[in-house]
């Protein structure tokens, strides 16, 4: 036999790309099981234009490495994402190119790359409450801690919930219930997520990662080809949904934001639509109080623009405690078997 005219293209290996994404994710692989732990530097992930883009970029790179046979997506520490980078949204304000790229490409790729690029089984592991739960809920199997609260918060700040989370709420919860929770920004609990079909299991606090690895190792006993084909069937309903509606949702959010910009009505807490920087200042408050779990009213919506800032001042003065204050945290490592 002769030799090929050209060899296989050399693609990046784990040791290379884990360095590329070290500011946003810790990557650990054992026996073909890759654990992706979202973070910013050595603490919780601080939501920003940069982290938003890194999530979709990393997913695409992971798909090029066939040594990643099963992937677990989680967040560092004992909660999901609750923080934002106060200086991480400046590029969103740059019209037209930067904002277009963030909202047209990043919003869409963050969602679609999880199901169209990853051809292997995926497990979402949610260690506690938080927002921007896309990557966890888009996995084939999702496990949540019993203290998890989540929501689609956009409407509270006057923003159209079109980044994919409203679409997923419709898909998982059913149209009427999904519409209600997206349009009112009401929070839901882990038990509700289980009852309504958004997560696969709810487990005791502190055991989410142990359970995720247990399931991953169980799936690893299946033949590689069979579990990969099985994963394609698991993703098929979401693929069909996204082909139909994802771009419509993301462009609708973008269009609505541009209308507010054109009207000079996008900005701080007094604007018709708050920009990401101001919305982000409410994050920790949302998971320290059950205000958003109650049936929403006009009064509660108005309170959303004042109460988080009043509470933040109390925290600053030492009159209240914020359990989500960022601190250096080590990523989870599975027990050896």
> What's the pLDDT tens digit per position in 252-299?
999 999 999 999 999 888 899 988 777 777 889 999 999 999 999 999
On whether residue 178 sits in a domain, the answer given is yes
On whether residue 126 sits in a domain, the answer given is yes
pLDDT at 337: 84
pLDDT at 276: 79
Q: What is the CA radius of gyration of the chain?
A: 20
On whether residue 326 sits in a domain, the answer given is no
pLDDT at 275: 84
| Of residues 289, 337, 330, 325, the one with CA closest to residue 310 | 289
Is the pTM value of this prediction over 0.95? Answer: yes
Question: Which CATH number characterizes residue 285's domain?
Answer: 3.90.226.10
pLDDT at 150: 97
pLDDT at 279: 77
On whether residue 128 sits in a domain, the answer given is yes
CA distance 39 to 238: 26
Q: In terms of C-beta density within 10 A (0-12 exposed, 13-18 middle, 19 or more buried), how is residue 262 classed?
A: exposed
Q: Quick one: angle between helices 175-184 and 165-173, nearest 10?
A: 140
On whether residue 335 sits in a domain, the answer given is no
User: What stretches in the chain show pLDDT beneath 70?
Assistant: none
- Distance from first CA to last CA of the chain, Å, rounded? 44
pLDDT tens, 45-87?
999 999 999 999 999 999 999 999 999 999 999 999 999 998 8
SS3 content of the chain, % helix, strand, coil (to 5): 50, 15, 40
| Structural domain boundaries, residue 169 | 14-317
Cis? peptide before 214, omega within 30° of 0: no
CA distance 173 to 189: 13
On whether residue 261 sits in a domain, the answer given is yes
On whether residue 7 sits in a domain, the answer given is no
On whether residue 325 sits in a domain, the answer given is no
Residue 317 CB partners (closer than 8 Å, separation 6+): none
Q: How many domains does the chain have?
A: 1
pLDDT at 132: 94
């Amino acid at each position: 036999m002769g030799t090929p005219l050209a060899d296989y293209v050399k693609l990046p290996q784990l040791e290379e790309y884990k360095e590329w994404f070290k500011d946003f994710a810790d990557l650990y692989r054992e026996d073909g099981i890759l654990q992706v732990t979202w973070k910013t530097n050595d603490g919780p992930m601080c939501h920003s234009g940069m982290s938003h883009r890194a999530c979709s970029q990393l997913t695409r790179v992971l798909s090029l490495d066939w040594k990643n046979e099963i992937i677990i997506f989680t967040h560092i520490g004992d909660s999901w994402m609750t923080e934002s980078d106060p200086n991480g949204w400046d590029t969103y304000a740059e019209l037209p190119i930067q904002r277009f790229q963030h909202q047209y490409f990043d919003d869409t790729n963050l969602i679609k790359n999880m199901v169209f690029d990853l051809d292997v089984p995926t497990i979402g592991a949610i260690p506690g409450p938080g927002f921007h739960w896309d990557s966890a809920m888009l996995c084939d199997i999702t496990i949540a801690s019993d203290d998890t609260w989540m929501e689609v918060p956009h409407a509270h700040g006057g923003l159209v919930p079109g980044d994919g989370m409203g679409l997923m709420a419709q898909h998982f919860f059913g149209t009427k219930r999904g519409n209600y929770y997206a349009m009112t920004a009401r929070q839901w609990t882990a038990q509700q997520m289980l009852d309504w079909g958004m997560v696969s299991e709810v487990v005791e606090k502190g055991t989410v990662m142990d359970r995720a690895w247990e399931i991953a190792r169980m799936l690893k006993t299946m033949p590689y080809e069979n579990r990969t084909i099985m994963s394609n069937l698991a993703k098929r309903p979401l693929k069909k949904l996204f082909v139909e509606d994802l771009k419509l949702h993301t462009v609708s959010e973008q269009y609505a934001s541009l209308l507010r910009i054109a009207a000079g009505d996008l900005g701080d807490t007094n604007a018709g639509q708050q920009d990401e920087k101001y919305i982000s200042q409410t994050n920790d408050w949302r998971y320290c109080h059950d205000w958003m779990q109650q049936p929403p009213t006009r009064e509660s919506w108005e309170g959303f623009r004042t109460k988080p800032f009043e509470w933040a001042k109390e925290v600053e003065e030492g009159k209240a405690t914020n359990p989500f204050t960022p601190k250096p945290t080590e990523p989870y490592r599975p027990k050896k078997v």
